Amino acid sequence: MSMFGGIDTSASGLTAERLRMDVISNNLANANTTRTPEGGPYHRRYVVFQPREYDERGFASFLAHALHKNRRNRDRGNGVRAVRIEEDRRQGPLVYDPGHPDANAEGYLERPNVNAVAEMVDLITASRAYEANVTAINAAKAMANQALDIGKG
């Protein structure tokens, strides 16, 4: 993998983790939403990731392909991409609240299926992954600068 390939891989991780943090933040913001435009309570959402294919890597992959690198090296460390955002359709907890306007005929209200503690753990995990990718990009930039400094001497 080239130096730019490493930066490209980390950049894909930054993009994926930023989207993941946005979705988690949306879940937390809607943790008390009992009525959505689709009807019913809010259902938590989550991001589905998959490894990127070789041809999705941008300029670094174009160079590798143009230079006819072997297949084994092309498949390693390509990065990640978000495929879709899915909705967790599990039922939320039922709470007896007959005075609530969204309660059913028996007086039970379905709350959103968002667990704030689990969402916060996911948010911290996504934040740490984001920081790790920033660190990797900074290390690659430092190596490139050192390589340029070697050429000056």
pLDDT per residue over 1-38, tens digit each? 566 788 889 999 999 999 999 999 999 999 999 999 98
Q: How far apart are CA 96 and CA 22, in angstroms?
A: 32
Pairing of strands 94-96, 45-51: unpaired
Which helix (H) or strand (E) element contains residue 10? Answer: helix 3-29
Report the predicted TM-score, pTM, of the whole model to 2 decimal places: 0.80
Q: How far apart are CA 95 and CA 97, in angstroms?
A: 6
Q: How far apart are CA 98 and CA 31, in angstroms?
A: 20
pLDDT per residue over 99-152, tens digit each? 999 999 999 999 999 999 999 999 999 999 999 999 999 999 998 888 888 877
In this predicted structure, what is the pLDDT of residue 55?
A: 53
In this predicted structure, what is the pLDDT of residue 149?
A: 86
Structure-token match 């294919």, residue found = 53
The residues spanned by each domain of the chain are 3-152
Q: How far apart are CA 88 and CA 99, in angstroms?
A: 27
Query: What's the token pair of residue 7?
Result: 């930066």
